[in-house]
Amino acid sequence: MIGFILFFAWLGFGGDYVWSLEGHHPFPWVGIVLTVVAIITAWHTYKTGPEKVLWATGAQELIDPQTDAERQVTNVVDEMAIAAGIPRPRVWIIPDDDPNAFATGHDPHDSHIAVTRGLLKMCTRDELQAVIAHELGHVKNLDVRLMTTLAALVGAVLLVREGMGRMMRGGGIPVRGGRKGKSAGPLLAILLALWVISWIIAPLVTQLLALAVSRRREYLADAMSAQFTRNPLALASALEKIEGAAAPTTSIKSGAAHLCICDPLGRRLTNSEGWLADRFATHPPMSMRISRLKGMGYAQLKKEGGSFTSSAPV
């Protein structure tokens, strides 16, 4: 968050400096405006992020459960909140037949969990429990705050850059031959180049940041799910089911993709490994997650003296 504001200040004040080299604008208004814009956007996204994300998916809050499935999901959320030792989050249902789930919010005292109807229909109680535990892992790690904010900030950076680009073309930096007398040292040249480059890569950097954070956190949340339920194999089989139904979740937009339990866009990238996928996918490869969970499950079975074949779900 602070990095975001500083980044914007750097972009803005850097711009002023370039202009002052040209002999215009002694007052650094671009810098001030951009910094203020950054602070306001950051504050605003922090405040309204969860509502925006939930609104974008068309989720409805589950307050008074009517059907068996609804009762089950509220019970399961209650149970996992107890296991995680955090207050009960609010539950939302997304009217979508594709199985998926995500969590959002600011901190454990103000968190939301959203599941699709498809997930409720497809999963057994144990699997649902594992998925909810995974999401509560995100809540307990405070991932939700980070990821919801990142989701909104990626959008904001794109927007501001778009606006600035138009302004620059319109108002135009007058192209003059040579600078006015002021000697610009090599240090200045480097700074200038850096400034231009950061303008170009600003959206890319925020995006990559969001992705890198998200992928590492998925493994952690998987592990926490296993810690809460003591049943890693249930999450493995839930992930397999979700992967099997790999149709894109239409109601979840790309902005919220990294919040979900698995990539809702049904992208190929998520299933491949390698450098490119490592950099650009929002989630680690499903097969890697499943095999890690199965590893945990077998280790547990071995410790408890159970047999491999009988209790391991396919």
Partner 1 sequence: MWVLLVLVVIVGLWMVGAYNGLISLKNQTVNAFKQIDVQLKRRHDLIPKLVNAVKGAMDYERSTLEAVIQARNQAVKVNASGPEAMKQVSQAENALSGALSRLLVTVERYPDLKATGNIAQLQEELTSTENRIAFSRQLYNDTATQYNTKQQQFPTTLVAGLAHAERTDLWEIEDQAERAVPQVDLSRR
Rounded Cα gap, residues 212 and 154, in angstroms: 13
Rounded Cα gap, residues 165 and 116, in angstroms: 39
* 260 bridge partner residues: 102
CB of 306 to partner 1, least distance (A): 9
Order of strands, edge to edge, in the sheet holding 90-94?
Answer: 60-61, 90-94, 110-116, 101-107
For residue 308, how many other CB atoms are within 10 A of its CB? 10
Catalytic residue, candidates 51, 79, 135, 240: 135
Nearer to partner 1, 71 or 109 (CB): 71
Rounded Cα gap, residues 57 and 98, in angstroms: 13
Of 236, 214, 217, 213, the closest CA to residue 288 belongs to 236
Nearer to partner 1, 45 or 231 (CB): 231
Nearer to partner 1, 79 or 110 (CB): 79
- Non-local (6+) Cβ contacts of 2 within 8 A are none
Q: Is 51 a catalytic residue?
A: no
Phi/psi for 107 (5° steps) reads -155, 175
For residue 47, how many other CB atoms are within 10 A of its CB? 11
Angle between helices 186-229 and 125-140 (to 10 degrees): 140
- Non-local (6+) Cβ contacts of 287 within 8 A are 271
Q: Are 224 and 137 in contact (CB under 8 A)?
A: yes
Rounded Cα gap, residues 96 and 249, in angstroms: 7
Rounded Cα gap, residues 233 and 290, in angstroms: 9
CB of 222 to partner 1, least distance (A): 18
CB of 218 to partner 1, least distance (A): 22
CB of 71 to partner 1, least distance (A): 6
CB of 85 to partner 1, least distance (A): 5
Nearer to partner 1, 65 or 155 (CB): 65
Nearer to partner 1, 72 or 300 (CB): 72
Nearer to partner 1, 72 or 287 (CB): 72
Residues in contact with partner 1 by the rule CB under 8 A: 68, 71-72, 75-76, 78-80, 82-85, 125, 129, 228, 230
CB of 64 to partner 1, least distance (A): 14
Annotated catalytic residues are 135
